[in-house]
Amino acid sequence: MSEQIPGNDLLVVDRIETFIGQFHILENVSVCVPKGSITVMLGRNGAGKTTTLKSIIGLTPPREGKIIFDGMEIQGKQAFNIANLGIGYVPENRAIFRALSVQENLKLAERKKGDFERKSDFIFELFPDLKRLYKLPGNHLSGGQQQMLAVARALVPENKLLLIDEPSEGLAPILIQQMMEAIRKLSETTTILLVEQNFIMASQLAERYTIIDDGKTVQEGLMKDLIEDTDLIHHYLGASIKTRKELEMEHESEN
């Protein structure tokens, strides 16, 4: 499936199986994330995309299979150890710390003293809003601002890989645009594994894709090939009707 040169992958998820309680959520998921790229995970709701990210970061450790990050097996290690190897995780639903101010949310993300001071200019350039809201508690932020903070938080320490879960979820179109710009800019320095339902956004950002369906990896390859393959898109991603409509509308406008 993959035409990548071995050794160039920053992250290799190799046939992992993950259980949550008694539920067999991931049955056979494999993902390759080449260094310096944006890879997107696609699939219906409940297909196992979020669980895959959580398995990588170690919050739901896989029972079987291997996860190799930067040449090192990380499956089964504790989440904080995995994160400290240089993986930033942006969870879905804008899980920022609501009781903490914007400043504290960012400060908390430091792994070494002074991380935030080093990166603050870069972060505020990407998300100028946050500078203005610096002292506000997290629960006073709007949904879009919370999402930006959630992404910004992962930028504070030096990360080699960012796992970003549905950054566009529930955002207004103009904010989606801003978020896309930010992610594109990030990808210049960091490798990104993205989960995204919004196919427009996914197709414009990512170079590679992986489709997960029912806990299994069913297809992976280059994004430019997938865009051509409307049958495949409809088969696996058809459930999100909005995406399909948007896609058709975009096709019309392009033609």
- Binding site residues, another protein, CB under 8 A: 57-59, 75-81, 83-84, 89, 91, 95, 97-100, 104-105, 107-109, 111, 153, 157
Residue closer to another protein by CB (options 8, 78) is 78
Residue closer to another protein by CB (options 26, 96) is 96
Residue closer to another protein by CB (options 147, 178) is 147
Q: CB of residue 91 vs another protein: minimum separation in angstroms?
A: 6
Q: CB of residue 254 vs another protein: minimum separation in angstroms?
A: 39
- For residue 135, what are the contacts with CB-CB under 8 A and spacing of at least 6? 101, 102, 103
Q: CB of residue 57 vs another protein: minimum separation in angstroms?
A: 5
CA-closest candidate to residue 43, choices 249, 219, 250, 254: 219
Per-residue tokens: 67: 């996860």
How far is CA 211 from each of CA 39, 48, 248, rounded to the nearest angstrom? 11, 10, 20
Alpha carbons within 13 angstroms on the beta-carbon side of residue 175 total 16
Q: CB of residue 131 vs another protein: minimum separation in angstroms?
A: 20
- Output phi, psi for 60, to 5 deg: -125, 85
Q: CB of residue 149 vs another protein: minimum separation in angstroms?
A: 12
CA distance 244 to 240: 7
How far is CA 244 from each of CA 57, 204, 240, 255, rounded to the nearest angstrom? 31, 15, 7, 16
Q: CB of residue 184 vs another protein: minimum separation in angstroms?
A: 24
Residue closer to another protein by CB (options 28, 101) is 101
Do 157 and 110 contact (CB within 8 A), yes or no? yes
Residue closer to another protein by CB (options 59, 200) is 59
Q: CB of residue 102 vs another protein: minimum separation in angstroms?
A: 13
Residue closer to another protein by CB (options 83, 201) is 83
Per-residue tokens: 147: 């999402």
CA distance 10 to 161: 8
Residue closer to another protein by CB (options 113, 255) is 113
Per-residue tokens: 138: 């997290």
